[in-house]
């Protein structure tokens, strides 16, 4: 009988159904797990389910029965994949589940910021409408998405879906060439041109050593059209102190972030210091988390486990097998 242990079940909403695998098993769920408790909780487990709990080589070395790490997310940077490969531990992840929820969240941020929804909402609550003495007032500029140039950093399935929605709004989507690279073909607009000509820049890249900190003060100074910066990908893609400085200097017009470098952030995190500004929206890493997307994730998670046990592994992560 297989022992399956989910180390951080609370990273999936409680209303989402996690079906039981079809093979004989014992399933143990923990709401969350501290790093020092990983080995004890995974003792005897053949399958570990994790979302963000780190699985280091030191911990994995003490888990000789472990055969599969089923990550309940797309990103697998919390797993020492090189060690898994050396030990023959398979690692699977979730793919394609967020093709609607993340782009929709990105556009929710764009619309709210371009139309100054937060500022006008705050004004209404404060009584400004009554004070205006007429049917409307114009304290904050409003801009359409139609006609705006949208710089998309990341041309994967999410970036492509963002471009599709952008065209429906009448926007001009531009796929940014990878920073520091040329000759990528006609799909791409040169990196510098995207920085200089975009009205909105939205990030949909993985976090790697190559992409870490790729938007910093040098890039902000190149943004001639004072764009909005939207990040629903990974916090480490942007130098967050530089982002605050860019806002203060008027180099960009606003920021909509669903992710930060350390989650949850400390109270003095750069983005939390400015979260109350009307041109800043910070959401708690929930762009992926529509009920529909979470249920798709949970179903795919169990599909991955069942397929592996049946000898037909799927969604295996490169570098870990």
Q: Which of 9, 149, 161, 285 is catalytic?
A: 285
Q: Which of 210, 263, 273, 292 is catalytic?
A: 263
Q: For position 319, what pLDDT does the model report?
A: 66
Q: Which of 149, 234, 240, 269 is catalytic?
A: 234
Q: For position 181, what pLDDT does the model report?
A: 83
Q: For position 321, what pLDDT does the model report?
A: 57
Comparing CA positions, the residue from 4, 1, 51, 50 lying closest to residue 27 is 4
pLDDT digits (tens, 9 = 90+) for 59-106: 999 999 999 999 999 989 899 999 999 999 999 999 999 999 999 999
Q: For position 92, what pLDDT does the model report?
A: 98
Stretches in the chain below the pLDDT threshold 70: 319-321
Q: Is 226 a catalytic residue?
A: no
Domains of the chain: 2-97+291-309 (3.40.50.720), 101-282 (3.40.50.720)
| Residues facing 257 on adjacent strands | 231, 282
Q: Is 181 a catalytic residue?
A: no
Q: Contact, 178 vs 191, CB < 8 A?
A: yes
Q: For position 182, what pLDDT does the model report?
A: 78
Q: For position 45, what pLDDT does the model report?
A: 98
Burial of 265 (C-beta count, 10 Å sphere; 0-12/13-18/19+)? middle
Residue 297 backbone dihedrals phi, psi, to 5 degrees: -60, -50
Q: Is 263 a catalytic residue?
A: yes
Q: Supply the pTM of this predicted model.
A: 0.91
Question: What would the two tokens of residue 222 be?
Answer: 């190149």
Q: For position 81, what pLDDT does the model report?
A: 96
């Amino acid at each position: 009988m297989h022992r399956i242990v989910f180390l951080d079940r609370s990273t999936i909403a409680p209303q989402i159904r996690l079906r039981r695998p079809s093979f004989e098993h014992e399933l143990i769920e923990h709401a969350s797990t501290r790093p020092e408790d990983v080995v004890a909780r995974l003792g005897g487990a053949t399958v570990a389910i994790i979302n963000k709990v780190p699985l280091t080589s030191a911990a994995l070395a003490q888990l000789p029965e472990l055969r599969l790490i089923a990550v309940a997310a797309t990103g697998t940077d919390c797993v020492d994949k090189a060690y898994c490969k050396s030990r023959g531990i398979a690692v699977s992840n979730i793919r394609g589940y967020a093709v609607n929820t993340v782009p929709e969240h990105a556009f929710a941020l764009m619309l709210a910021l371009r139309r100054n929804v937060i500022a006008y909402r705050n004004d209404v609550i404060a009584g400004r409408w009554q004070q205006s003495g007429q049917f409307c007032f114009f304290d904050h500029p409003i801009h359409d998405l139609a006609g705006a140039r949208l710089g998309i950093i990341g041309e994967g399935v999410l970036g492509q879906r963002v471009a599709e929605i952008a065209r429906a709004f009448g926007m001009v989507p531009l796929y940014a060439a990878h920073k520091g690279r040329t000759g990528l073909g006609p799909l791409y607009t040169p990196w510098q041109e995207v920085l200089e000509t975009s009205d909105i820049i939205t990030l949909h890249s993985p976090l790697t050593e190559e992409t870490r900190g790729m938007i910093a003060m040098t890039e902000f100074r190149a943004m001639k059209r004072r764009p909005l910066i939207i990040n629903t990908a990974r916090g480490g893609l942007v130098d967050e102190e530089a982002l605050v400085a860019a806002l203060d200097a008027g180099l960009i017009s606003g920021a909509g972030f669903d992710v930060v470098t350390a989650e949850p952030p400390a109270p003095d995190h750069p983005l939390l210091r400015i979260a109350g500004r009307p041109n800043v929206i910070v959401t708690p890493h929930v762009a992926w988390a529509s009920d529909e997307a979470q249920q798709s994730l949970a179903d795919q998670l169990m599909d991955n486990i069942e397929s592996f046990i049946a000898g037909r592994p799927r969604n295996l992560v490169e570098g870990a097998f």
